[in-house]
Amino acid sequence: MTTSNGPLANPESPLLEVSGLTVDYPRKGFGKEVFHAVQDANLWIGHGETLGLVGESGSGKTTIGRAILGLAPVSRGSIRFDGQDISHASRRKRQQLSSDLQVVFQDPYTSLNPSMTVGDILAEPIGIAGGSRNAARSRVAGLLEQVGLPRDAIDRLPREFSGGQRQRVAIARALALRPKLIVCDEPVSALDLSTQARILDLLLTIQLDTGVSYLFVSHDLDVVRHISHRVAVIYRGELVEQGEAEQVTQDPKHPYTQRLLLASPVSDPVRQAERRNARKAHASKS
């Protein structure tokens, strides 16, 4: 697996800036009471940069991604994207933004329309954005090549492909309009380890070629370490630690990140042994 080594971001002019973001949902059975799925979150993503967002199930990772995409309500705070405040963007504005802001979901089996050919899946966003059939056809051929799928995929249905290949289709669809940012929500969690590595390598290559930025959401610190320039750690709706990927994943400061690191599975036997020793040391301290 390649380690990410793209350009360093400029924090003075980030592509995305999330400030004081709070997302509230009703507490079922508690009248008008709400709970904070995300509370007072601050983060930014530079041009051509990957921010890994890591935390355990239910910690609020997906909610941050959904708020950025306009799919979760912003109760307080702001989201600025490419110089504009998009916290409460209208549906029309969101449609305009969709060429710059895209998503790849976790499950490649449910995220693609099973009755559409891969060619139609990839051409759809281009058509919606007003592109001609000819433009769509040549763009689709380029996209298939970019994500390492054969040319004849164009006439085939998603069910004819493996999970990893379907995720390549989903990535190609996200790339169709040349976005500036892709929210990748657990894009490799449903895949086996070697397929995970190939998809992560593909995402890195695409970033180097196109300069796209990623918000990479995952529960797996090891996966996040490989793809991210910086990492933010979320615990019970609050960001508890942020920093350079190497620092956060090798020498975490917050006790929650330390626990996450010890719990994360690793395939390398040498690192497995290091982890076992670290766990023993951690247990003897507590």
Ligand X SMILES: Nc1ncnc2c1ncn2[C@@H]1O[C@H](COP(=O)(O)OP(=O)(O)OP(=O)(O)O)[C@@H](O)[C@H]1O
Contacting residues toward ligand X, per CB under 6 A:
25, 37, 55, 57-63, 219
Of 47 and 219, the one with the shorter C-beta distance to ligand X is 219
Determine the Cα–Cα distance for residues 182 and 100; give it in Å rounded to an integer: 8
State in angstroms the smallest separation of the CB of 281 from ligand X. 28
State in angstroms the smallest separation of the CB of 25 from ligand X. 4
Of 126 and 186, the one with the shorter C-beta distance to ligand X is 186
Determine the Cα–Cα distance for residues 180 and 48; give it in Å rounded to an integer: 8
State in angstroms the smallest separation of the CB of 38 from ligand X. 7
Of 103 and 172, the one with the shorter C-beta distance to ligand X is 103
Of 56 and 201, the one with the shorter C-beta distance to ligand X is 56
- Residue 8 carries which DSSP code? P
Determine the Cα–Cα distance for residues 54 and 62; give it in Å rounded to an integer: 10
State in angstroms the smallest separation of the CB of 219 from ligand X. 5
- Return contacts of 187-191, CB within 8 angstroms, 24+ apart: 187/104, 187/105, 187/106, 187/216, 188/218, 188/223, 189/106, 189/218, 189/219, 189/220, 190/106, 190/107, 190/108, 190/109, 190/163, 191/108, 191/163, 191/164, 191/167
State in angstroms the smallest separation of the CB of 60 from ligand X. 4
Of 57 and 284, the one with the shorter C-beta distance to ligand X is 57
